[in-house]
Amino acid sequence: MNKGVLILAEYKWHSDHYNPIALMPSLYKSRPSRTLRAITKFLPIITLILLTLFFPNMVYGQEEMPITAKSEVDYRYGQIMRFRLSAQSEVPIENATLFVRAPELPNTLTTEVEINSKKEIQIEQSLDLTQYRLAPFTTVTYWWLVEDKDGNAVTLPEAHIDYVHDQYTWEKLEKDGMVVFWTGDDASVGQAAMDAVVKALPRQQSYIPFEPPNPLRIYVYPSADDLRAALRLTGRDWVGGHAHPDLGVILVSATNPRTAAIELEKTIPHELSHMLLYEATGANYGAIPIWFDEGLATLFEEAANGDYETILEEAVITNSTIPFAELCQSFPTESSKALIAYAQSSSFIRYIQAEYGNFAILQMIRALADGADCQSVTTRAIDRTLEELNEEWLEDLSPQSFPERLWQQGGIWLVAVLVGFFLMSLFFFGLPRSKS
């Protein structure tokens, strides 16, 4: 029985022997009125209610916390994350449960730890980061539930830890909700990254009229190899940069401070495009065709990838292009085919822009935000099926015969030359004479 119930029971026993009439003037002792008898009957209950409302601690007493506990966490990037719990209780503790949540995990991880009835515990539970591949710079949320032998339980408040790549010492530059991190002592790298964002944002917002996440965090690794190693430790593939739109994180690299501006003006706009498209489409971002997401990102790069043109030309000649219907959810894992997919996507978006205008791109984004899928987005935006556009695009790229190329590149000059020869022949040989 808890203390509040005990006090209530004691008060009720005394109320059975309590006679308020005996304490009142003699006027009320003789023949009390019906109203007075009603008040007398319910006076103990009224008094208890008033005491409960205005003096709750006096009636029920101070409730003590039966269990006290605290927790902490640390990690080795890409290897292991350790959660520690220390708890004390007047009653032996029998059970502790750890809960872990992160954006990359499909469900909240739950781990129950059995304890052999101890009043004081210190336990550690590990999360294998080679099995659970957390995204770089994600935020991990965790909490504990502790229960004792009598059924008392305490749930610790949710705690958070940022999964930062702690192998490096990161410098920081902030501006208008954007935060750039880089390594080393050369501040020009951080400034070049910030300049690349500021320069790219207005142009991209003319296509995608949304604000980037706040804060937008950009981490600049000292080399492509360092970035590749960081992503591989977390089970990610590497191309040239990486974006986590749901986390508001962009990962890029800049090897040489002297060429950092050129590198970052290519990679940062590409990854920023993914961020804005995520903000524009919200919950439907996961259904966006990969060819559209990557193709649009290459459209915003300051300098086009020169290798794409060569790769695409060879694919067209050898008839090894990939139908865009097969590039809806993912790109091929084989590197040579993946490069063809990137080259195609870049060319396809530029073709749509050239043939149907910037408004067509904006209409496609709106359709995707409204739930359009890979097959329906082109129909809803520009009244062309994906297969029809695919054929149009291929026809535009198909190699031409020598006469066709000659006519396309200099048809008007060819006509001028032929006319010139005809006039010269007339001048030298004259008009043919008719027979009389």
Q: Are strands 249-253 and 242-244 parallel, antiparallel or unpaired?
A: antiparallel
The class level of CATH for 169-268 reads alpha beta
Q: Where are the domains of the chain?
A: 3-60, 67-162, 169-268, 288-399, 402-436
CA gap 209, 223 in Å, rounded: 33
Identity of the residue numbered 147:
E
Query: Which residue from 117, 146, 141 is spatially nearest to 127, judged by alpha carbons?
Result: 141
CA atoms within 13 A on the CB side of 332: 18
**Residue 60 β-bridge partners:** none
Identity of the residue numbered 327:
L
pLDDT in the model for residue 9: 31
Helix, strand, coil percentages in the chain from 3-state DSSP, rounded to 5 = 50, 20, 30
pLDDT in the model for residue 39: 58
Q: Are strands 171-175 and 153-155 parallel, antiparallel or unpaired?
A: unpaired
Q: pTM to 2 decimals? A: 0.72
Spell out the alpha helix ranges (H) of 120-258.
187-207, 224-233
CATH assignment, 67-162: 2.60.40.10
pLDDT in the model for residue 18: 42
pLDDT in the model for residue 234: 72
Query: Could you give the 3-state DSSP secondary structure of residue 179?
Result: strand
Q: Average pLDDT by consecutive 10-residue portion of the chain (436 residues)?
A: 34 39 43 57 64 47 66 94 94 94 93 88 94 91 94 93 93 96 93 96 93 94 90 68 87 91 94 95 93 95 85 94 96 92 96 95 95 95 95 86 50 62 63 51
CA gap 140, 202 in Å, rounded: 33
**Residue 71 β-bridge partners:** 85
Q: Tokens 């935006």: give the residue.
A: 381
For residue 174, with 0-12 CB atoms within 10 Å meaning exposed, 13-18 middle and 19 or more buried, which class applies?
Answer: exposed
CA gap 33, 270 in Å, rounded: 89
Q: Tokens 């719990």: give the residue.
A: 85
47 token code pair: 């008094």
pLDDT in the model for residue 54: 53
- Cβ contact 349:295 at 8 Å: yes
CA gap 170, 165 in Å, rounded: 9
The 10 Å Cβ neighbour count of residue 401 is 8
- Cβ contact 116:63 at 8 Å: no
Q: Tokens 């706040």: give the residue.
A: 214
Identity of the residue numbered 200:
A
List of residues 6+ apart from 149 with CB closer than 8 A: 91, 92, 93, 94, 117
List of residues 6+ apart from 314 with CB closer than 8 A: 320
pLDDT in the model for residue 229: 87
For residue 178, with 0-12 CB atoms within 10 Å meaning exposed, 13-18 middle and 19 or more buried, which class applies?
Answer: buried
What is the tens place of the pLDDT at every residue in 16-41? 444 444 444 443 444 555 655 655 66
CA gap 113, 125 in Å, rounded: 8
DSSP state string for 407-431: HHHHHHHHHHHHHHHHHHHHHHH-P
364 token code pair: 């496609």
CA gap 211, 181 in Å, rounded: 20
What is the tens place of the pLDDT at every residue in 172-218? 999 999 999 999 889 999 999 999 999 999 999 999 999 999 999 99
DSSP 105: S
pLDDT in the model for residue 65: 55
